[in-house]
């Protein structure tokens, strides 16, 4: 897409689509031909650009949520150790424990998935190496 004179429009459209905006809506706002915009949407490199924008948005959102979760966790810990009533302390302690359980289960699952991915890659590599159609250089 680098040499394309419409590259900036394509980038703008990809950003809009990654945020959930409709092609027709984007075309109208940008005074562009909706049929041309729909053609761009079919190109594999354009689809990858939209997907890349979505992944970047998710990464930013995860960062924001992580910072908010750290603040919430700190506040729950403060409440659990505070001079507040026993019911407030117990509720905060329960919330901390429940959150810890959920996070640890998710982390364990992610670790298992990572191990499975490694095993699958090793098997694929071994199968590729053992393939009778394997071409050797030279």
**Mind listing the pLDDT tens digit of every residue in the chain (138 residues)?**
556 668 999 999 999 999 999 999 999 999 999 999 999 999 999 999 999 999 999 999 888 888 888 888 888 888 888 888 888 888 888 888 888 888 888 888 889 999 999 999 999 888 887 766 655 454
Q: What pLDDT is stored for residue 4 in this prediction? A: 64
Are 10 and 4 spatial neighbours (Cβ–Cβ below 8 Å)? yes
Are 76 and 92 spatial neighbours (Cβ–Cβ below 8 Å)? yes
Alpha helices in the chain (DSSP H): 7-18, 23-29, 34-42, 44-80, 86-130
pTM over cut 0.85: no
What's the CA gap between 83 and 76, in Å, rounded?
13
So where are the chain's domains?
Answer: 1-68
7, two tokens? 């590259």
């Amino acid at each position: 897409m680098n040499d394309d004179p419409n590259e900036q429009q394509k980038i703008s459209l990809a950003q809009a689509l990654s945020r959930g905006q409709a092609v027709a809506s984007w075309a109208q706002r940008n005074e562009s031909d909706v049929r041309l915009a729909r053609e761009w949407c079919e190109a594999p490199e354009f689809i990858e650009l939209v997907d890349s924008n979505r992944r970047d948005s998710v990464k930013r959102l995860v960062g924001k949520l992580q910072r908010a979760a750290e603040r919430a966790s700190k506040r729950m810990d403060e409440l659990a150790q505070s001079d507040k009533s026993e019911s407030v302390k117990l509720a905060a302690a329960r919330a901390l424990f429940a959150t810890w359980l959920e996070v640890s289960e998710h982390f364990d699952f992610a670790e298992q998935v990572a191990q499975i991915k490694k095993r699958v890659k090793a098997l694929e590599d071994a199968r590729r190496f053992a393939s009778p159609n394997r071409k050797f250089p030279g």
